[in-house]
Amino acid sequence: MIRIGAPGIRSTIQDAGRSAGLRSGIPPAGPADPQAFATACGLVGLPPDAAAIEVVGLPFSFRCDDLRLIAVTGREVRVRSRIPLPSWTAVVVRPGEEVVIEGGVVTRYVYVAISGGIDLPWVLGSRATYLPSGIGPWPAALAAGDALPLGEARVPTERAGMRRAAPDHGAPVRAVPGPHTHRFTEEAVEALFAGPFTVAAESDRMGLRIQGRRIGSTGGELLTCGITAGAIQVPSGGDPIVLLADHQTTGGYPIIATVLSADLGLVAQRAPGEVLQLVRVTGDAG
Amino acid sequence: MTDPDDRDGPGAVSIRPFGDRAFLVELEQRRDPGLVSRSRALADAWEARGLGPAIPAYASVVLQFDPGRIRYADARRAAHELLHAVAVPPDAAAGPITVVPVRYDGPDIAETAERSDLTVDGLIAIHGATTYSAWFLGFMPGFAYLGPLDPRIRAPRRPSPRSRVPAGAVAVADGQTAIYPAESPGGWQLIGSTDVRPFDPASDPPARIRAGDRVRFVRA
């Protein structure tokens, strides 16, 4: 078992996401920052379909009943037990040892992966949590005192000390023009990539709002169509929104460009007030 | 544009780039039961080939793929092949029927009737006279776009969406009708309410009305 002490604000169980409900209108969910999530899971030897914890709101603390390898990833994240522990690194924690995670003002999504993984049943093919509709095997934000089952207790100690570099969280973000480029003038598309944009405060797991030069679309009503994460929607007269894990499965706003899947984490982790610079690439550039 | 759309086949079908792991196939820009069926058939065929999930809508389908398993260029080729291989399905209005009892007590029913030059009773009779087809689901979990709405009911979207529409609200807009599965913001005209909840996360499948199903509304 893993036992939650300080729960954060909206911490949830996530895995790589759920595709089985897309045609029922169920958002894919999964980690807001897929790269940091995959790095944490990889460090402790978990397979690609494993479940781990996405922490929102710090501090977050927990204990495990038995010896485990853990990894914590995120932006400007600090980890300690009785002594400071490195982040972005696989570390061994002893039975009952309390682990505390803290961060700074720009910290947004933090991932805690534990060897063995969070062992919950699959719901619609996934363990990801979609909080607004209560979907997933643990369909609520984590609370103090929650105890979650862990998978096989074998600790791959040969991985202890392995580390991965954190990305440059201020780096430019690559995006492919489209699919609705025909709904925008060439000037509008150029304005998007000329940037820069500033991240607005009202950004969450559904999407990141960015403010900058006004971008207007052309043409009449756009029929609702399916959506994928990374889509940059331009509401009429509104600020562009880069859609993230909890995005609606369909939408009726024109999409001027789509962020490369490998750069979604850079979008999710950008803090309000920070700058987001988009760089134009083609779809086969990933 | 530097990234021109691929046009393929009769009409104006296009395959547009949608990031590095999806394409958007656009058939046309109109709501039409035949296009809805074709969009769904394309989504079914893409998924049946094991290439990834697909999301159909009125006249388009998003084809997703995993670039770790199939290269971008190969996925694009597969999307082109799909357009040629998938025949227009026969009218598939044969799904199970869900009967939905409605209290026609929505805050927009009088205004909608007036705009349509109908009495409220006349609007209710027309709304209940059609067996609707669930075209596709989207917007929120379990939200089925039901159509076609009788054109005598004129219902544009509200210019400014409500911030809160209650669960079970029965609404009309743009030639369609729907049931809000849960409380949410919404811009459709509210004409009634029902105790039917089209989405239950504890059920399998959680969406009670699925694409291709049929729905009838009866006055409660």
Place of tokens 């995993």: B66
Cα B27 → chain centroid: 15
| pLDDT per residue as tens, chain A (286 positions) | 999 999 999 999 999 999 999 999 999 999 999 999 999 999 999 999 999 999 999 999 999 999 999 999 999 999 999 999 999 999 999 999 999 999 999 999 999 999 999 999 999 999 999 999 999 999 999 999 999 999 987 888 899 999 999 999 999 999 999 999 999 999 999 999 998 999 999 899 999 999 998 898 887 778 999 999 999 999 887 789 999 999 999 999 999 999 999 999 999 999 999 999 999 999 887 6
CB B139 within 8 A of CB B146: no
Q: Is residue B3 within 8 angstroms of chain A, CB to CB?
A: yes
Could you tell me what percent of chain B has a pLDDT over 90? Answer: 84
Q: Is the dihedral of CA A203, A208, A209, A213 positive or negative?
A: positive
Alpha-carbon gap, residue A91 to A70, rounded angstroms: 5
pLDDT at B1: 34
CB A282 within 8 A of CB B42: no
* Rounded mean pLDDT, B117-121: 98
Residues 147-186 of chain B whose Cβ lies under 8 A from any Cβ of chain A: 182
Alpha-carbon gap, residue A234 to A215, rounded angstroms: 7
pLDDT at A220: 75
pLDDT by residue (tens digit) across B51-82? 999 999 999 999 999 999 999 999 999 999 99
Rounded to two decimals, what is the model's pTM? 0.94
Place of tokens 């002490």: A5
Alpha-carbon gap, residue A73 to A64, rounded angstroms: 18
pLDDT by residue (tens digit) across A259-276? 999 999 999 999 999 999
Alpha-carbon gap, residue A169 to A276, rounded angstroms: 10
Alpha-carbon gap, residue A225 to A227, rounded angstroms: 7
Residues in chain B with CB shorter than 8 Å from the CB of A248 are 138-140
Alpha-carbon gap, residue A257 to A179, rounded angstroms: 7
pLDDT by residue (tens digit) across A38-93? 999 999 999 999 999 999 999 999 999 999 999 999 999 999 999 999 999 999 99
| Nearest CA among A241, A275, A267 for reference residue A255 | A241
Q: How many CB atoms lie within 10 A of CB A175?
A: 25
pLDDT at A224: 95
| Element containing residue A105 per DSSP (H, E) | none
Residues in chain B with CB shorter than 8 Å from the CB of A38 are none
Alpha-carbon gap, residue B82 to B47, rounded angstroms: 11
Q: Per the CB < 8 Å rule, is B54 touching A230?
A: no
Residues in chain A with CB shorter than 8 Å from the CB of B56 are 23, 226
Q: Per the CB < 8 Å rule, is B73 touching A249?
A: no
Q: Which two tokens stand for residue B188?
A: 């459709």
Residues in chain A with CB shorter than 8 Å from the CB of B43 are 23
* Rounded mean pLDDT, B10-27: 90
Alpha-carbon gap, residue B84 to B75, rounded angstroms: 15
**Beta-sheet strand order (sheet of A255-259):** A275-276, A197-199, A207-211, A241-243, A231-233, A255-259, A173-177, A278-280
Q: Per the CB < 8 Å rule, is B52 touching A19?
A: yes
Task: Count Cα neighbours of B193 within 13 Å in the Cβ-side half-sphere.
Answer: 11
Nearest residue, CB atoms, B72 vs list A180, A231, A283 = A283
Alpha-carbon gap, residue A271 to A273, rounded angstroms: 6
pLDDT by residue (tens digit) across B144-170? 999 999 999 999 999 888 999 999 999
Q: Which two tokens stand for residue A243?
A: 């859609």
Give every CB contact of residue A211 below 8 A, 6+ residues apart in sequence.
Answer: A197, A198, A199, A200, A239
Q: Is residue B50 within 8 angstroms of chain A, CB to CB?
A: no
